[in-house]
């Protein structure tokens, strides 16, 4: 089989042991599973991954859990049990990658830390995902998305207008870690292929999100270099042409008229040529627009208010002007764009029937699996995985009796 054939997957034959739970690790390993890796999800007895219990549900299982755990297999191992740890060690010996998201120090207590893994398998790629990394003053602080976002500068961008920012609607820190982990793992696997060496990846969600805040931190970095940081880049509501407004029926829309050519097009369409200024340059794109801002904001608000949302959107789409709906979840899922781009697929779940799943955006490239398997039930693949590891039927029964696996 060659790389150009449709069923070729770049990570076919790569086994990943996934000790992670909740969002960053499972989302990352799901992407790697989509690329063909055999991801074995190791879960604790009874409870499993905490994400299994997050609402809402389909009929029985959690929507969120299913959204980040497709194409995986599940085994339940009690890592507090000596026999359970022995199973985990055998799994590590026969794998290529380990992903874990324990708090700093927990992997060592459970004896699945990097030094142990490397002693068992010296070419292992080991990715430890934590909130703040393995060292530093915050290394032992639990890494939850909200507090990480709050520390990067991201939530502080509108403090001049609102002293109490709203809780973000997107888990930027979780997804920053989840997005960076596959890049690191793929790079480490390539190095392993070239040199035979394994790799330890200390992946901090804070580090990843901080790295992605290069626009947020522009003013501060200017001041670090002796500059004033002004005028500040305005991507957070200070620019009237890059903001949100209400339509006539009270539904919100997002307005993105950054470039002068877009602004000219909009002003011409609404018959307000007085708002077009020939002296506008590219340096004005992400500013407040100074003294002109109140006039701009008033004109945009008045036009939006004069139309129902749907009629406004129809006019803007016809003119290819970037004013779009602020959609609810139901509206986003039902949009024509989502349908035409094939961004939702359906999986046959053994308990929940036909369930929706968000399509991997790489599907169009042919790099990912054509069809997904649904997220596994807790310990669903115990027998198969233990047999693959070389445990006989009697040994598997003994492990079950000892509570090492369940």
Q: How far apart are CA 206 and CA 104, in angstroms?
A: 14
Residue 270 lies in a domain: yes
Q: What is the CATH number of the domain that holds 204?
A: 3.40.50.10540
Tokens of 160: 């001049």
The C-alpha R_g of the chain, in whole angstroms, comes to 25
Q: What is the CATH number of the domain that holds 318?
A: 3.30.1540.10
Q: Quote the strand ranges of 205-320, DSSP E.
A: 242-246, 252-256
Sign of CA dihedral 160, 163, 165, 166: negative
Are 320 and 376 found together in one domain? no
pLDDT at position 236 is: 82
Residues 6+ apart with CB under 8 A from 27: 68, 174, 175, 178
Are 317 and 249 found together in one domain? yes
What is the secondary structure of 306-329 as a DSSP string? TS-HHHHHHHHHHHT--EEE---H
Tokens of 303: 């036009």
Tokens of 124: 């292992």
Predicted TM-score (pTM) above 0.75: yes
pLDDT at position 3 is: 46
293, 325, 357 - which closes a domain: 325
Are 183 and 49 found together in one domain? yes
Are 200 and 263 found together in one domain? no
Are 364 and 317 found together in one domain? no
Which is nearest to 186 in space by CA: 29, 22, 8, 68?
Answer: 29
In order along its 406 residues, the chain shows pLDDT tens digits of: 344 455 678 999 999 999 999 999 999 999 999 999 999 999 999 999 999 999 999 999 999 999 999 999 999 999 999 999 999 999 999 999 999 999 999 999 999 999 999 999 999 999 999 999 999 999 999 999 999 999 999 999 888 778 898 899 999 999 999 999 999 999 999 999 999 999 999 999 999 999 999 999 999 999 999 999 988 888 888 899 999 999 999 999 999 999 999 999 999 999 999 999 999 999 988 899 999 999 999 999 999 999 999 999 999 999 999 999 999 999 999 999 999 999 999 999 999 999 999 999 999 999 998 888 999 999 999 999 999 999 999 999 999 999 999 9
pLDDT at position 1 is: 36
Are 66 and 205 found together in one domain? yes
Q: How far apart are CA 112 and CA 19, in angstroms?
A: 9
Per-residue pLDDT tens digits for 43-88: 999 999 999 999 999 999 999 999 999 999 999 999 999 999 999 9
Q: How far apart are CA 340 and CA 367, in angstroms?
A: 20
Are 187 and 292 found together in one domain? no
Are 169 and 252 found together in one domain? no
How many domains does the structure of the chain reveal? 2
Phi, psi of 322 (to 5 degrees): -75, 70
pLDDT at position 7 is: 61
Q: Cis ω on the peptide bond leading into residue 154 (within 30° of 0)? A: no
Q: How far apart are CA 391 and CA 238, in angstroms?
A: 63
pLDDT at position 237 is: 81
Are 62 and 151 found together in one domain? yes
Residue 230 lies in a domain: no
Which is nearest to 106 in space by CA: 20, 27, 176?
Answer: 20
Are 133 and 174 found together in one domain? yes
299, 325, 351 - which closes a domain: 325
Residue 221 lies in a domain: no
- CB–CB of 158/236 below 8 Å? yes
Q: Quote the strand ranges of 111-232, DSSP E.
A: 125-130, 199-204
Residue 275 lies in a domain: yes
Residue 220 lies in a domain: no
User: Domain span at residue 280?
Assistant: 242-325
Are 181 and 261 found together in one domain? no
Q: Average pLDDT, whole number, for the chain?
A: 95
């Amino acid at each position: 089989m060659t790389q150009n054939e449709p069923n070729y997957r770049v990570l076919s034959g790569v086994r990943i042991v996934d000790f992670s739970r909740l969002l960053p690790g499972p989302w990352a390993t799901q992407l790697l599973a989509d690329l063909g890796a055999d991801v074995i999800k190791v879960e604790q007895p009874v409870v499993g991954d905490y994400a299994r219990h997050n609402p809402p549900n389909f009929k029985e299982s959690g929507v969120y859990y299913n959204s980040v755990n497709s194409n995986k297999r599940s085994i339940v191992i009690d890592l507090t049990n000596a026999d359970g740890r022995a199973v985990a060690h055998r799994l590590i010996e026969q794998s290529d990658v380990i992903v874990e998201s324990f708090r700093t120090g927990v992997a060592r207590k459970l004896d699945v830390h990097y030094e142990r893994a490397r002693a068992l398998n010296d070419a292992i790629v080991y990715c430890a995902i934590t909130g703040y990394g393995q060292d530093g003053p915050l290394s032992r602080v639990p890494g939850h998305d909200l507090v990480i976002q709050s520390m990067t500068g991201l939530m502080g961008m509108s403090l001049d207008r609102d002293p109490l920012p709203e809780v973000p609607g997107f888990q930027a820190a979780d997804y920053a870690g989840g997005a960076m982990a596959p890049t690191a793992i793929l790079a480490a696997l390539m190095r392993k292929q070239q040199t035979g060496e394994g790799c330890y990846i200390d992946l901090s969600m804070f580090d990843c999100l901080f790295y992605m805040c290069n626009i947020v931190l522009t003013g501060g970095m200017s001041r670090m270099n002796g500059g004033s940081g002004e005028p500040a880049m305005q991507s957070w509501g200070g620019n009237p042409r890059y903001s949100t407004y209400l339509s006539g029926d009270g539904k919100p829309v997002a307005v993105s008229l950054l470039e002068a050519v877009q602004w000219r097009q909009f002003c011409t369409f609404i018959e307000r040529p007085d708002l077009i200024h020939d002296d506008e340059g590219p340096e004005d794109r992400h500013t407040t627009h100074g003294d002109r801002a109140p006039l701009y904001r008033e004109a945009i608000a008045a036009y939006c208010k004069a139309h129902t949302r749907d009629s406004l959107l129809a006019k803007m789409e016809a003119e290819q002007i970037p004013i779009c709906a602020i959609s609810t979840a139901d509206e986003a899922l039902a949009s024509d764009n989502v349908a035409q781009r094939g961004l939702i697929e359906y999986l046959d779940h053994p308990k929940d029937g036909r369930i929706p799943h968000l399509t991997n955006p790489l599907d169009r490239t042919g790099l990912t699996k054509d069809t997904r398997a649904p997220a596994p039930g807790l310990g669903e693949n115990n027998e198969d995985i233990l047999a693959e590891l070389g445990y006989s039927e009697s040994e598997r029964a003994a492990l079950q009796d000892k509570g090492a696996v369940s």
